[in-house]
Amino acid sequence: MKLAVVGGGSTYTPELIDGIAGRRSTLDVDEIVLVDPDAYRVEAVGGFSQRILDHAGHPARVRTTQSLEEGVDGASAVLIQLRVGGQRARRSDETFPHACGCVGQETTGAGGLAKALRTVPVVLDIAERVRKIAGDDTWIVNFTNPVGIVTRALLNEGHRAVGLCNVAINLQRQFGKLLGVGADDVKLVHTGLNHLSWERGALVDGVDRLPELLDQHLEYLSNEVSVPEKWLRRMNVVPSYYLKYFYAHDEQVAKQRTERPRADVVSDVEEELLKIYLDPEQNTKPESLEKRGGAYYSEAAVQLVHALTAGGPAEEHVVNVRNDGTFPFLPDDAVIETRSTVDSKGATPIPQPPVEPQYSGLVAATTAYEFLALEAAIRGGRDRVADALLAHPLVGQYTKADTLADSLVQINREYLPWARG
């Protein structure tokens, strides 16, 4: 099987390769093509990736290319992990909202919208070229943020796509360790949207062990997801750590204004990693890769690709998929993040208990924003940008929305053809 990775020059691509190297029996890959316009980065990552596979005794060969068409031709699955504008654009996403007292973050709020506007057109162009070259049956696994918006864009255009994030598998692995069971024995009742989700249950052999986790490991979980212990105890759920931007918005803004932007930290980490990758003696994943983020990314991606391509029985994964009635308070074509059965036909959400109002209200409001964000990304227009921001729960005031829209468009003008006229 051939696997293509678009954005293969990313410094966390070796996480994926390491996952493939360790799962030879479950993912029969014999060719991996890393596609990236940055020849220096992709060659550095590609050479190191091949050494990882060789060291593990895995027979797959790694190729690198700057040509998308060459990279995806004959691929059974294409993993998209782009960052349009690189860390420079990310730094802007993390800082320009502060002028209006809003959180600066690359996947939510005004920064997340800026990233969506830059990213959606590029991903849709790539997906259309993949369909022409590799065929309609090729699966697209989208890891590109904001995952929910980008995945909905792909599905709306009829692409065979599933969205993936590492938040759920990270919590699943931690729950398994805390409960003293295998991680795969834990089935999450994962509810919400990408980067706006809650674990409402942790099933082991059909028994919900979440109350036990909250009773015995409250302090640990509180620190892990940045939510006060008293809130966890009262709500009896474990939220994604991205909920801190909603539940403690003002605190996070104050903190961000005094801290170094994450983009600058990651830039330093990437520089360090690329030097390591260029060392011909390095053939195992360095510890410093953990600083890059994306914990358990490789496991999630490898398991999902296996489920989509192996032709075996359905497996359970937490993915981004069409709602199709799963949450009755959302439109069918909304993209939600939820536990699903996955096989070669795609992902099907597993029914869940009714969602409590304290979660469904925020999910519905953010979904409305995501619909408007996608409209702005596809059709352009400053006013559509402002309308999306006004609908976002983290903005929600017309003066702020207008000011942020003007700043966003000006800062990202080089990536927005409609803004350059």
Active site residues: 242
Q: Which of 250, 274, 199 lies closest to 97 in space, CA to CA?
A: 250
Taking the alpha carbons of 177, 170, 297, 26 in that order, is the dihedral positive or negative? positive
CA angle 7, 11, 15 (to 5 degrees): 95
Contact between 378 and 372 (Cβ < 8 Å): no
**What are the angstrom distances between the C-alpha of 11 and each of 60, 81, 276, 323?**
20, 11, 11, 33
Question: Alpha-carbon distance 244 to 235, whole Å?
Answer: 15
Quote the strand ranges of 103-233, DSSP E: 139-142, 161-163, 186-193, 196-204, 207-208
Residue 26 burial class via C-beta count within 10 angstroms: exposed 0-12, middle 13-18, buried 19 and up: middle
Note if the bond before 228 is cis, omega within 30 degrees: no
Which amino acid is located at 280 in the chain?
P
Phi and psi, residue 4, nearest 5°: -110, 140
Question: Alpha-carbon distance 172 to 311, whole Å?
Answer: 25
Residue 341 CB coordination number (10 Å): 17
Quote the strand ranges of 66-195, DSSP E: 77-80, 139-142, 161-163, 186-193
